[in-house]
Amino acid sequence: MKRVIIFYFSGTGHTQIVAEMLAAALHDQGVHVDCFRIDRCLREGDLPDISGYDAVGIGYPIYAFNVPRTVEDFVRMLPKSTGKPVFVFKTAGEPFLFNKPSSYFIHGQLRRRGYDLRYERLFLMPYNIVFRYPDEVVKEIYTLSEALAQRMAADIVRGTEHRPRYNPLLVLISLLMRIQFPGARLNGKLMRATKDCNLCGKCVRECRAQNIRIHKGRVRFGWKCVMCMRCVMYCPRGAVKAGLLERWAVRGGYDFKEIVGDPAVAGDTIQGYNKGFFGHFKKYVRDIEALTREPERDESA
């Protein structure tokens, strides 16, 4: 394994962080890595030549237990292949079983285009909607993601496989949840900028779906929203209303460097949650800690 190309879609930047972690970990393994944003590839209608790469990585955030529509559109752009290895990394705010089959709908597309999905991992990252995670949880899952990226990179280089498995019942639930695709379009159209908006244009420039424009002195939202929540989270004036999801809006990004580097923020608190939402994270933490302590298996011998 000498050269790897990574394509990722990232709304609020959390999947991009994992992509950068994984690229750095592969670089430490002596692999040359090139990274490209999926939304830019779609916007330009062109892909870099992937024929000279030994493997393709695809990263995405899970939306309503599904792969984003943007990523499905991207996979359809991939050129035909003859067994080129693919690895997938996906991010979610929770380690629930319903997130497991999210790649099902691109797995078939990849197979039909001649790609071999050999490895997949879920990385926890904090919510960008519903509620803001406490700093101690952010620190712990970020640190776990760094360790998991190191292990995943080593596995990829060694040829170790971790293929996704799809429970039919969970796939059915994911299929039903694909109603979020038209739901995202509708909710995007219902989004508004308040009187606090100063027309800085940040939301227009950074919209991953090119769904926002300024027309006649007002910010306008179209029908192409994928509900990544970037405009809501990063508006400098907190002026973007999240449509039907306004009650669950999270405004302002997480300062990961400050949180992780602050010795006053504990980084091992999840095992102390015996009840509540974060109590469901305990098994994920144990599993990742055990995985990253395991001896690496060389499958290429």
Domains of the chain in start order, with CATH, are: 3-168+278-291 (3.40.50.360), 177-248 (3.30.70.20)
Half-sphere exposure (Cβ direction) of 175: Cα atoms closer than 13 Å: 8
Name residues whose C-beta falls within 8 Å of residue 131's C-beta, 6 or more positions apart in sequence. 248, 250
Q: What pLDDT is recorded for position 301?
A: 33
Name residues whose C-beta falls within 8 Å of residue 53's C-beta, 6 or more positions apart in sequence. 3, 4, 5, 34, 84
Q: What pLDDT is recorded for position 272?
A: 93
Residues 33-84: tens digit of each pLDDT: 999 999 999 999 999 999 999 999 999 999 999 999 999 999 999 999 999 9
Question: What's at 140, amino acid-wise?
Answer: E
Name residues whose C-beta falls within 8 Å of residue 115's C-beta, 6 or more positions apart in sequence. 56, 78, 81, 83, 84, 85, 86
Residues of the chain above pLDDT 90, percent: 96
Residues 113-139: tens digit of each pLDDT: 999 999 999 999 999 999 999 999 999
Name residues whose C-beta falls within 8 Å of residue 272's C-beta, 6 or more positions apart in sequence. none
Name the band, by pLDDT with cuts 50, 70 and 90, for residue 295: confident
The structure tokens listed for 255 are 């300062």
Question: In this model, does residue 277 exceed pLDDT 60?
Answer: yes
- Helix ranges (H only) for the chain are 14-28, 38-44, 69-77, 104-112, 135-158, 168-177, 180-190, 202-206, 230-234, 256-261, 282-293
Label each residue of 7-51 as H, E or C. EECCCCCHHHHHHHHHHHHHHHCCCEEEEEEHHHHHHHCCCCCCC
**What angle (nearest 5°) sits at the alpha carbon of residue 250, between those of residues 265 and 69?**
115
- Residue bearing tokens 């990849």: 110
151: nearest Cα among 97, 95, 87, 55: 87
Q: What pLDDT is recorded for position 275?
A: 86
Give the chain's mean pLDDT: 95
Average pLDDT value for residue range 238-257 = 97
Buried b (16+ CB within 10 A) or exposed e, 213-234: eeeeeebebeebbbbbbbbbbb
Q: What pLDDT is recorded for position 296?
A: 65
Compute and round to an integer the Cα radius of gyration of the chain: 19
Residues 101-118: tens digit of each pLDDT: 999 999 999 999 999 999
Name the band, by pLDDT with cuts 50, 70 and 90, for residue 1: confident
- SS3 (DSSP) at 250: coil
Name the band, by pLDDT with cuts 50, 70 and 90, for residue 299: very low
Residues of the chain above pLDDT 70, percent: 98
pTM of the model: 0.95
128: nearest Cα among 16, 246, 6, 232: 232
Question: In this model, does residue 250 exceed pLDDT 80?
Answer: yes
In angstroms, the CA 44 to CA 230 distance is 21
**123 φ, ψ to 5°?**
-110, 130
In angstroms, the CA 88 to CA 103 distance is 8
